[in-house]
Amino acid sequence: MRTYAYFPGCSLKATATPYETSLLDVAGALDVEFRELDDWNCCGATAYFSIRETLSHAISARNLAIAEKGGLDLVAPCSACYLGLSKTNHYLQEFPELKRRVDGALAAGGLAYGGSVRVRHALEVFVQDVGIDAIEDRVRKPLDDLKVAGYAGCQMVRPYGFDDAEVPVVLDRLTAALGGTPVDFPLASRCCGGAQVMTNQPVALAMCRELLACAEGRKADVIVTTCPLCHMNLDLFQGKVNAAFGTSFHIPVVFFTQLMALAFGLQRTGIDKNIVPASPTLAGLMAG
Amino acid sequence: MAEKLRLGLYWAASCGGCEIAVLEIGDRILDLIQVADIVFWPCVMDFKYDDVRAMPDGHIDVVLFNGAIRNSENESIARLLRQKCKVLVAFGSCAVEGGIPALANLYALQSLMARAFTESESTVNPAGTVPAPGHHVPEGEIELPVIYRTVRRLQDVVPVDYFMPGCPPTEKQIWAVLQAIVAGALPPVGSHVGCGDRSVCDECKREKRQVRIERFHRPHEIVPEEGWCLLEQGIVCMGSATRSGCEARCLDANQPCRGCYGPAGRSMDQGAATLSAVGSMIAADSIEKAEQILRDFVDPAGTVYRFGMSNSLLVRRLDE
Amino acid sequence: MSDFEPRIVAFLCSWCSYTGADLAGTSRKKYRSNIIPIRVMCSGRVDPEWILKAFRDGADGVLVCGCHPGDCHYINGNHKTLGRYPVVRRMLAQFGIHPDRYRLEWVSAAEGDRYAKVVDAMIDTVRALGPLRWKDRLAAATDTLADARS
Amino acid sequence: MPRIGVFVCHCGSNIGSVVHVPEVVQFASGLPGVVHAAEHKYMCSDPGQEMIRQAIREHGLERVVVASCSPLMHEATFRKTCEEAGLNGFLFQMANIREQVSWVTEDKARATKKAMAVVQAAVHRVVGHVPLQVGTVPVTPATLVIGGGVAGIEAALQVASSGTRVHLVEREPSIGGHMARFDKTFPTLDCAACILTPKMVQANTHPMITVHAWSEVVEVSGFVGSFKVRIHHKATYVDHQKCTGCGACLQKCPQRKIPSEFDYGMMNRRAIYIPFAQAVPNKPIIDREHCQWFQAGKCRICEKVCEAKAIDYDQDPAGWTEEVEVGNIIVASGMKVMQPTDMKHLGYGRLPDVYTGIEFERLCHASGPTEGHIVCKTGGVVKAGGRPPKAIALVHCIGSRDQQHHAYCSRVCCMYALKYAHLVKEHVPGCEVYDFYIDMRCFGKGYEEFYNRLLREDVRFVRGKVAEVTDAALYPGEDGRMVVRVEDTLVGAVRRIPVDMVVLCSALEPAEGAKALAQTLHMGCSSDGFYLERHPKLAPVSTASAGIFVAGCCQGPKDIPDSVAQGAAAAAQALAMIMKGQVEVEPTTAHVIDDLCSGCQICIPLCPYEAIHRDEARRKAYVEPALCKGCGTCVGACPSGALQQWGFDDTQILAELEGILAAR
Amino acid sequence: MEPLLPAIRIEIGMKPDFLEEIFEVPGGEKIKECIQCGTCSGSCPASPFMDHAPRRIIAMIRAGMRDDVLSSNTIWMCASCYLCQVRCPAGIKITDIMYGLKRIAVREGKGQPSSSEMARIFVDNINRFGRNDERLLIFRYYLKTAPTMFLSYAPLGIAMITHGLMSFGLPERIRGIDQLKAIIRKVEEEGVV
């Protein structure tokens, strides 16, 4: 039994509930326990930096401080949370002046952070700690001839990621372990537009279009994601992309945990909760 | 016949070994008194300070002064004798360079007093009595000398004519010097007498093998190989940094030189000279390695200034 | 101790460190003026006697710089220097002199920037430690008959 | 107390603008022993020196202190000045108030105070100076040249042309270096082989040059004038004395599929091989790792076909070592081209038809994998007959000017990119050439003109560093091609440009093993790993180690003209020394004060030059001045002060120290 | 008729010390070392939509074109994907500099209202609840910026509801909200950004 502190982040409690359910089920299946961080607060994501820098480090330091008491690695399934927390970790080391201020702030809240917490992404934990082999052993329903475009997105791999910042490979290794076929997906770490989908939607849609076009060009049955925001942009807004550009993409988008749940033969994959309906191959696997 | 030579001997802060060393000349002391009157030697005959005070200045021809300046008595008698004698000889390591008493300079006086009179395991002193300069007794006030915080050399309180190192000086050297005195054949004022002017290695018969030091041992830890340089065997021997004249007696006893004759040649600090030589000899190519080897070189200051603390460049510990 | 300006003596080997210090100048790196160099051919020439003398006669810090181990112009002169270093520091500590007042640093002929940094760091350290004033404090800790009588 | 003169230099404004020179002069004139103090705008100028000479005569000076720049700069100059006025040059001391005073602070008051302290130290020190005579040591009339690239070859030829013995050591099987791989050379576009091969042959056949190919320098001992060098010869398994170079063995060897180092694996060689057709020496060697006989114990075909009976399987695999004596050394060990494999976004190693500059050189080369045809890979293999590219991207500054890799500019990329642009235009009619640059650096003679020529040849220059090379086709015309994504910084727009071949002009790096060689030679490297010259401007080919010179890319990236020039320059310096037959050695050696030496022998093992031995009769140490290099380590270690160093006597250093600490 | 003014930047109108403002960003001084290679702009997925691509923004900062920079849409187009930052040959933390510019713009009420509004609401949610209820975020955001557009989102909203991606119920507050507020207050007192 491996145990980790778990930082769900706001999305997994709202728009990305299927991510959380599949994540926890898969964790269970792999004998991993995720203990939800007690009374965690929002990581601040990208928006907070745009208003207050020291503050955004301070609030994410609160989470780190709470986690440090537990002495466990802190796992974030959302790439934005993952980056937000890691960035604070790095900056507190790199910039003493910032650390002084943040320490002061924490003290005001009766907290202290020594800097010992390791921030991990859920994918990292599964592939590196549990291991590809263990995952392969757990597969019950191999994803035969399912062509998967592994989309790592940006913030999971940059600038502090565990996978290559330019050409990430971990998702492809996972796909292979699940019996699927990774397609060469050169835009694997290209940005989906993130929160632009709300503030500058046309821009975000244009970015998503590039990703979808590439995936389609590579004949992918499904795009697998590691971040709620990527997922929302590619899945929920796929229709808007088609509307905007007169395209007709219909590529299902699933979280990597959903793909694992499927291959493990678990009951709840939550794939049905995704907006874009499953492609024939995927549907077949879900049925069979 | 010419007037007899007048000699004086005095014992300040020292162990008394020097006095015994003088007696080492044995029957020859009878030859000595043929030509010289001993007019002051408290250790051997009953002289009073007042007898000396009564003497006209320059009355004594030669005073052999042993012991360091540790308290006000040492200093006042040093001044008195300087006034009453023509030639003042700093006799023995304590007078020349501070000697063993000067090791006290590595500590604060209070801590030494506490250790000596109250703390030490063998002390029973419930009242916690410690020496005090003034003390009242039924007969009235008695005064004790004031102990100084810093132990100094004779030359630090009065001008000294000759320096005769050694702890103690060898009887051979003593006799030679006495003869020189009697014959009036002393070298120019300020010289060292009764010793050589090279280092102990000059008189040491041990062989060198040109090896580097891999690790250090304290003398009690190993039985060093006879005939082979102790320094090369990892025992801190100060011979190379110490003035010759003792005929390397310690080394004949298979023990390292402790440096009682003081710095050799042009060196102005015996301790630094020793560390420089020893440090250059260790087999290290990185600071880490050097630290690791030197870890077994215990108490450097106490080792390289065992006799020369008052004579060293830094003289004593000063806490920042 | 803010107004205290330490005096630091630096012994620099001619081939690496003195050249490096010159390079700091040639490339106009700025560092504070509390340090005055003495040039020797090799750091191995630096006699611990000089270091003690410097402290006794008014230096607040002593810096010795040589070629990086392995790069000595005289093959291994700096090995002798580093062999003396730890024991001298330990002895200084026994005399109550903070070991950080004496530093050994490797500065190559190309490390002008590093020399400037080393010097400023050394000055900061020594400034924090305060003045050494060895002679005055030694005199103050030495009693005389006069003291005894009073 | 000797009569001392102090001379303070303004060095134009270099010192004068920070240090208040008159104040220093006034201070100096008040110092004990100083009978004359003066200042001058430029003390090293003729009038400045004349001023010193006059003062020595007029004031009968017995000691001279000059406060100006670093002694490493002008000590020799002013010693000479003193000598000219009849004062021994060692009765002089230099006070460095420029490099380590005026240039390192803006605080005028502090600088002036510091300058005074430095001057006071020098004055105290110079009192104890004694006259010394410069000694000389003979120079072995032979030179070692390390590295057989164009710089090394040039150096070797120049030295040998004077009738001096040269040992040219090359670790590869052939001399020629990187230039031997080039097709054309910029900006003249003359054929590299045509100009290099004759020099290679000339070097190999020159009676005074011994070429040690497939060999490495493993140990260097001794010192300027007489270095002892151990050269290790790797096993060739072919007796090059007997071998006629007929090449029969090369044809018959059954091992055909070994990637050729010379062609960066783009071509194959045999197990017995010469790296390239014009190799010098043109004698094959056997690659033990791939040889049937050595690996499987059968074959020996080369032996059978060798009429000269030169094949020798029994050679010691460890090779053999010889020792040569030389008077000086020229290091021309070259560079290596950076492999951009960790720049994944540029597709190197991931996408076909992405090459480094040097690989592309082979593509253009008639004897390269494509016989000089610039064509795309077929089936992932580089070979002739492939499809010619419709567009090529030449990408500058790969790993150069990049703090993640090398901060420096590699100096040759701009020009060889232009060369390629031309070659592509020449070889592949109708092929579009895009040249992506940050700054076009055409600094050499005829270089700007060459750039101008390429502008006329319709090369499409884009100012901007390529952000990525991708195979993700998104727009019409991109399918099946590579797309270069770049900001055209002059247009101010991001562009996607489809191409069929990408050439990454990657950085020049210090050669493999450069650091190790530096240590063998006790030579300094700068922080980027290239060898450090003694002075960037005034001593560009000499090093801090007397008698060791550098030439070519081992000292920093440079092009062929510069490499050749440096080779020749180094040769001139080496020869000057050899022609004179002797080198002056500083008299600042260690010496023993007999009366004080007790023969403790602590000094003896400390000397790396074995210059100290024990005079058994007198039971004292003795320093052999000819062997002593004057480091003073033994002096520092001598526990009785019986060892002293001329010019660095304890009394002199302590006086200097007192001078510093006396200053207030 | 309007007089035609030459499009020349008069130095007097420039703000050369704008550069120093950027130094408040940790590592901001590195901006001095920009060699204008364009790697950032070429890498940026959003640069084609920006008024000025990142490279030019840096040039403009150095030129002191303060207002042009702060009023450009560029800083709000940055989606924080860090691609420019990991590739920058000068080691400039470009993404952080964009954040820095956003902060100055917000402080001075310059630039894209929509984006800064989004950020403001986001931060306000956190400061009030400790977490960021996405429904509340979306709701408040569109209500504030584009009420009409909000309706056009109905289909998406419905889709999410039908797929059980949008629950109902009030936004929850974290227990340690007072602690969080104390932390925030402390930083605000320090008066740093």
Neighbours of B2 (CB within 10 A): 5
Q: Mean pLDDT in chain B?
A: 94
Residue carrying the six token digits 């791939």:
D290
Over 60: is that where the pLDDT of D295 sits? Answer: yes
Which residue in this structure is represented by tokens 């796992």?
A75
Q: How many CB atoms lie within 10 A of CB A179?
A: 16
Helix (H, G, I), strand (E, B) or coil at D215: strand
| Facing B210 at nearest CB: one of D605, D638, D640 | D605
D472/A214 Cβ within 8 A: yes
Q: Which of D345, D438, D494 sits opposite E37 (nearest CB)?
A: D438
Report pLDDT for A228.
Answer: 95
D abuts C (3+ Cβ pairs < 8 Å): yes
pLDDT (tens digit per residue) in C95-129: 999 999 999 999 988 889 999 999 999 999 999 99
Are E192 and A54 an interchain contact pair (Cβ–Cβ within 8 Å)? yes
* Band (B1; pLDDT cuts 50, 70, 90): very low
Contact present, A269 and A286 (Cβ < 8 Å): yes
Contact D345 A186 (CB under 8 A): no
**B2 pLDDT more than 70:** no
pLDDT tens for each residue of B43-101: 888 889 999 999 999 999 999 999 999 999 999 999 999 999 999 999 999 999 999 99
The string of pLDDT tens digits covering residues A97-116 is 899 999 999 999 999 999 99
Long-range interactions of A85-89: CB distance < 8 A, separation 24+: A85/A7, A85/A43, A85/A60, A85/A119, A86/A119, A86/A160, A87/A57, A87/A60, A87/A160, A88/A56, A88/A57, A88/A60, A88/A61, A88/A64, A89/A64, A89/A115, A89/A117, A89/A119
Residue contact B300–C87, C-beta within 8 A: yes
Look at D492 and E89 and tell me if their CB atoms are within 8 Å. no
Number of H helices, E strands in chain C: 6, 4
Question: At D384, which amino acid appears?
Answer: A
| Cβ pair B273:D641 closer than 8 A | yes
Q: In this predicted structure, what is the pLDDT of residue C78?
A: 93
Give which of B237, E55, A55 is closest to D639, Cα–Cα.
Answer: B237
Complex-level ipTM: 0.73
Where does residue A97 rank: exposed (0-12), middle (13-18), buried (19+ CB within 10 A)? exposed
Contact exists between C and B (3 or more beta carbon pairs < 8 Å): yes
Contacts of D483 in chain A (CB under 8 A): none
pLDDT of residue D527: 76
Nearest CB neighbour to D637, from listed B208, B231, B276: B276
Q: Give the residue with greater pLDDT, D523 vs A103.
A: A103
What is the token pair recorded at A88? 């604070």
Q: Measured between CB atoms, which of E53, E90, E91 is closest to D487?
A: E53
D350 touches chain A (CB under 8 A): yes
Mean pLDDT of C36-56: 97
If you average pLDDT over residues D140-149, what whole number do you get?
A: 98
Touching C (3+ Cβ pairs <8 A), the chains are B, D
B214 CB within 8 Å of a chain D CB: no
Q: Would you call D426 an interface residue with chain A, using a CB distance cutoff of 8 Å? A: no
- Give the model's confidence band at C150: pLDDT under 50 very low, under 70 low, under 90 confident, else very high: low
Beta bridge partners of B64: B9, B89
Identity of the residue in D343, D344, D474 whose CB atom sits nearest the CB atom of A213: D474
How confident is the model at residue B269, as a pLDDT? 97
- Interface check B15 vs D, CB under 8 A: no
Residue D505 has pLDDT above 90, yes or no: yes
Q: What is the DSSP string of chain E?
A: -PPPPP----GGG--TTHHHHHTTSTTGGGGGG-----HHHHH-SSGGGSSS-HHHHHHHHHHT-HHHHHHSSHHHH-----HHHHH-TT---HHHHHHHHHHHHHHTT-S-HHHHHHHHHHHHHHHHHSS--HHHHHHHHHHHH-HHHHHHTHHHHHHHHHTT----SPPP--TTHHHHHHHHHHHHHHT--
Mean pLDDT of B298-310: 97
Helices of type H across C27-111: 48-56, 77-94
Average pLDDT over residues D140-148: 98
Q: Taking all residues of chain A, what is their mean pLDDT, rounded to a whole number? A: 94
Which of the four pLDDT bands, split at 50, 70 and 90, describes residue C1? Answer: very low
Contact A248, A216 (CB under 8 A): no
Q: Please indicate if any CB of chain D lies within 8 Å of the CB of B311.
A: no
Q: Tell me the C-alpha distance between B247 and E107, whole Å.
A: 88
Judge: A213–D471 Cβ closer than 8 Å, yes or no: no
D461 beta partners = D435
Give the closest of A13, A15, A200 to E115, CB-based.
Answer: A200
The one-letter amino acid code at B297 reads F
List pLDDT tens digits, range D423-453: 999 999 999 999 999 999 999 999 999 999 9
pLDDT (0 to 100) of residue B131: 84
pLDDT score at D395: 98
Closest residue in E to D486 (Cα–Cα): E42
Check CB contact under 8 Å for C75 and D653: no
Contacts of A211 in chain D (CB under 8 A): none
pLDDT at B191 over 80: yes
Chain D contact set for A213 (CB, 8 A): 474
Residue of chain B whose Cα is closest to the Cα of C45:
B276
Q: Which DSSP symbol is given to B144?
A: P
* D contacts of C37 (beta carbons < 8 Å): 96, 100
Best mutation target, B192, B195, B197, B202, to test chain D (most D CBs within 10 A): B202
Task: Identify the H or E element spanning D467.
Answer: strand D466-470
Chain E: list its partners (3+ Cβ pairs within 8 Å): A, D
**pLDDT over 80 at A23, yes or no:** yes
Nearest to A51 among E80, E119, E165 (CB): E119
Q: Out of E35, E53, E90, name the one closest to residue D494 (CB).
A: E53
Tell me the pLDDT tens digit for each residue of B107-130.
999 999 999 999 999 999 988 888
> CB distance D600–B197 less than 8 Å?
no
Distance CA A25, CA A124 (A): 17
* Touching status, chains A and B (3+ beta-carbon pairs under 8 Å): no
Distance CA B240, CA B261 (A): 11
Residues B135 and B141 sit within 8 Å (Cβ to Cβ)? yes
Q: What percent of chain D has pLDDT over 70?
A: 100
Residues 6+ apart with CB under 8 A from D646: D130, D132, D587, D588, D589, D590, D591, D630
Contact partners, residue B184, CB within 8 Å, separation at least 6: none
Q: What is the mean pLDDT of residues B161-181?
A: 94
Query: Cα dist. B181→A224, B17, B19, B243 in Å?
Result: 106, 21, 18, 22
In angstroms, the Cα distances linking D138 to A238, D330, D579, E73 are 85, 18, 11, 75
Q: Are D541 and D533 in contact (CB under 8 A)?
A: yes
- State how far the Cα of C69 lies from the Cα of C81, in Å rounded to an integer: 10
Among B59, B21, B27, B57, CA closest to B40? B59
CB hemisphere CA count around A58 (13 angstroms): 33
- pLDDT at position E150 is 67
The two tokens of residue D266 are 């783009």
Strand partners, D321: D232
Question: Taking CB atoms and an 8 Å cutoff, what residues of chain A touch E180?
Answer: 41, 59, 62, 109
CA–CA separation, D358 vs D383, rounded Å? 17
Those residues of chain E that have pLDDT short of 50 are none
Q: How far is D486 from chain E (nearest CA, A)?
A: 4
Tens of pLDDT, residue by residue over D308-355, are 999 999 999 999 999 999 999 999 999 999 999 989 999 999 999 999
Give the single-character DSSP code of A236. I
For residue D272, the Cα-to-chain-centroid distance in whole angstroms is 33
Look at C48 and B302 and tell me if their CB atoms are within 8 Å: no
Distance separating alpha carbons of residues D499 and A73, to the nearest angstrom: 46
Cα–Cα distance measured from residue D642 to residue D602, given in angstroms and rounded to the nearest whole number:
11
Using CB atoms, pick whichever of D104, D527, D636 lies closest to residue C30: D104
Residues of B in contact with D593 (CB under 8 A): 265-266
Which 8-state DSSP code applies to residue B228? B
Q: Is the pLDDT of residue D596 over 90?
A: yes
Question: What distance in Å separates the CA atoms of residue E78 and residue E54, rounded to the nearest whole number?
Answer: 9
For residue D55 the two structure tokens come to 């003062």
